[in-house]
Amino acid sequence: MPTTMKKILTLLCVAALFAVTPIYAQQTLTGLVGDTVSLDLGTVRGNIQWEKSTDNSTYNSMSGETNSTLTYEVDVLPLYFRAIITENDCDPITSPYVEVSSSINPPTVTTSAISNITQNSADGGGDVTNDGGSNIIARGLCWSTSPNPTVNDPSSSAGTGTGVFTSSMTGLNAGTLYYVRAYAVNNALQSTPGYGNEVQFVTTGGYRIGDTGPGGGKIFYLDGQGGGLEVALADENGSQSGGREKWGCSGSSMGASGITAGTGATNSAAIVANCNDANFAAKLCDASTALGQNDWHLPSLDELDSIYVNLVNIGTPAITVNTVDNYWSSSETGISTGYTYWFGGGTATNSPKVNDFRVRCVRSF
């Protein structure tokens, strides 16, 4: 049985001062946001299901919309509508699509790179490239510690109009990751700002490499989030000849394989928890009260390398270290070996755990 339908969509826009001539083809309706649009299939036979799309590619069924007429309010973004008509075993018929768009849109904005970053401020800006069809009445930056900031988050004001603008962000927290977007608001859509692309930056943490840290050591590593690592000013005195110490627990894995900066504390905790030897390097740091602090750990290999690069191998070394002997790292390489580090040349060696080497402790802040 053939399916019939009236292939003309009658488009009516309530509260808008224009008329639309029905045509047998895809159609576009432009109105102001909030105008009511009626899409009328006319008289058809069969079951109707209206569908909606935001890209005219992927359509989704509209719950409850099964009548010949669909009423919808014009949205800020273009929307596409079509109807699927089915009857018994006949092939479905798809109506021509109708694009419903707003003649007024949110402004188009881009966000500039962030500069002049300090502990509690930074500079940025943007470019309002299109006003969306209405005068720009506000523009600026909005920022948050979470992605996709809006004007409901902390924001700045940078005048009106289109074009490039600059703005400053103040009252920021030190050592914190921030997400930033430029925004602009036009007069017609005051509750619907346009947002630019998102950029991010980290405020400075208040410390620099080589500074004296909060625990009295020298800072050799910053994590970009306001924290970092500082190294004690002197070696720990071990139980072996010359104040050296063994790595400890040779023949057993301690699960201390971390090498990168920031893994030393985890390595050391694993060694202390799993090693039953009377004396060993990680235990020496764990028990240390150097500079009045009690949270020292044996550094990982990369932490030792950062000490060398940032504090030792510079014009005027910031700390005194032994450049003849090796130093133990907390980085385990096998059940009987671990990495040692030589500050005389900045090289690492895979050494037996039973050997005696120097110990220099570090701590996080």
CA-closest candidate to residue 271, choices 338, 214, 325: 338
149 and 230 housed in the same domain: no
At 23 the pLDDT is: 34
224 and 159 housed in the same domain: no
What is the rounded CA–CA span in Å between residue 58 and residue 51?
10
82 and 121 housed in the same domain: no
At 40 the pLDDT is: 87
Does residue 209 form part of some domain?
Answer: no
At 26 the pLDDT is: 62
At 147 the pLDDT is: 97
At 176 the pLDDT is: 84
pLDDT tens by residue, 301-331: 999 999 999 999 999 999 999 999 999 999 9
User: Residue 362 in contact with residue 261, Cβ under 8 Å?
Assistant: no
User: Tokens 């008329």 sit at which residue?
Assistant: 19
Do β-strands 98-102 and 27-31 pair in parallel, antiparallel, or remain unpaired? parallel
360 and 244 housed in the same domain: yes
Among candidate residues 102, 130, 155, the one where a domain is terminated: 102
At 28 the pLDDT is: 80
| Cα-based distances in Å from 262 to 220, 248, 291, 321 | 12, 22, 21, 21
92 and 112 housed in the same domain: no
pLDDT tens by residue, 127-160: 999 998 889 999 999 999 999 999 999 999 999 9
243 and 359 housed in the same domain: yes
Among candidate residues 70, 102, 134, the one where a domain is terminated: 102
Does residue 183 form part of some domain?
Answer: yes
247 and 339 housed in the same domain: yes
At 188 the pLDDT is: 84
The 10 Å Cβ neighbour count of residue 285 is 29
Statement: the pTM of the whole predicted model exceeds 0.85: no
Structure tokens at 122: 């930074």
Residues of the chain with pLDDT under 50: 1-25
Q: What is the DSSP letter of 311?
A: I
Number of independent structural domains in the chain: 3
98 and 114 housed in the same domain: no
At 223 the pLDDT is: 83
What is the domain extent for residue 233? 218-364
Does residue 1 form part of some domain?
Answer: no
At 29 the pLDDT is: 78
142 and 170 housed in the same domain: yes
191 and 237 housed in the same domain: no
43 and 88 housed in the same domain: yes
Does residue 212 form part of some domain?
Answer: no
